[in-house]
Structure 1
């Protein structure tokens, strides 16, 4: 099972997209990468860090375990088209953790920053301590950022497409361009931008709704909404509570299963059915 943390950065990102990338990768360097990079020095794991500034440019490689963070930080601040840090257990064919950013699909100045767990960590969806660490990572990475959207989900496609992009047939670039007008989707953790938090009555109103295990206002704008204590506990009922609470800022339309991605989770109802919901 895969576990995906994905956040949309846009022109409203505090300090620009480049600073958002620096915060994302810099926070990941502490957790979850810190302990793994220590193990690389012991030969237990291998890592690869790269940036690509634009199509046709030379791909640069960095050795984080040898202390080259300052060099990759400078590259990230310039807003590369893609950036990646992959950590493999020695001899493994796929990474256990992958930190990623790309502007290819969402189009500059936007970027999608992601954290994938593909190994043993992805199986910890029922581990309350691990889930708390995930949320703490997001809060730390996003406090200086003012994100446009974010989500955490398990067992769903690793892609820039949010769940409503798939089931409402929305183009990713349009979804990203409108992310501060209509929420791109919802998940176990949903990051709601400042503009839509205000439209929902503010963080206090969202906490009073009772739909969420935890509501965290972000320092530079936006709110993190954690539906249940653990990812494994994100039941269909919990998803429906999230959907109904966020319906006023969700795009209208009757969702349908995407045959290419049948594992995408969603509530099979039009947000417009709910009071004030499904603006279009």
Structure 2
């Protein structure tokens, strides 16, 4: 087994099966990927919202790679074990007009810079957000020829934003091209299931992974193996909504959670929205009680100061 290193000069911002690999490795080897934040280094710890609105959005999801794995062929499965993810002490979250889950409520640009400790951040007081870094984007080169933007995920992996892809987890990806041509990036120090404002805590990081190859396995789409769900413990607050349209139910639940945070802990609506994006989970509770689907917006109580008399009303 050998260990390799890729720096931030080894990057690209499009999927393309014709990209030349930055390195070729043996199955069983370990690679350390030095990663920009999702903006490709355009946002830094001193950026303002005025800086943010000027960034080149075509460079979003600057990925480190690709890595070719010797012997990988179409029909194989690439096993990617996440050994470690080390953030670099800061990150950012934003509101971008027209994007996110609540574009009608939040129509002005907004940028928030987080200072990150090893395992948590208290930048958005009084919340203390636990950190569990993961890669929002991990994937192999798609089967189709030509360039593909990195925002849509697919059967090749890509921008899945699955927060369980943290250290200790293993991702299985179908291989479509010789060498597999694996890349990763878009590291989030924390994120809730839903990523509602369109960001987690976006951050630069060094990601260490080990690659192995499963021959002739014919996996149809990504699969994930994990050992730990989250860092949060204790009880939760859950806002419940039901609707024939699960997106409508989810939007109502998120809006109510934002109001709950504003009313009880005096967050601004913008800060509450960002907190929901990096720490709140959207869950489907039932799909069998036709015609309605029930959705919950859930936030761990461990993130916030204890409420003696919570303000429940959201009317």
Q: Same fold (TM over 0.5)?
A: no
User: Could you tell me the TM-score, scaled by structure 2's length?
Assistant: 0.25
More strand by share: 2
More helix by share: 1
Q: Which has the larger radius of gyration?
A: 2
Q: Which one has more relative contact order, counting CA pairs under 8 Å at least 6 apart?
A: 2
User: Could you tell me the TM-score, scaled by structure 1's length?
Assistant: 0.27
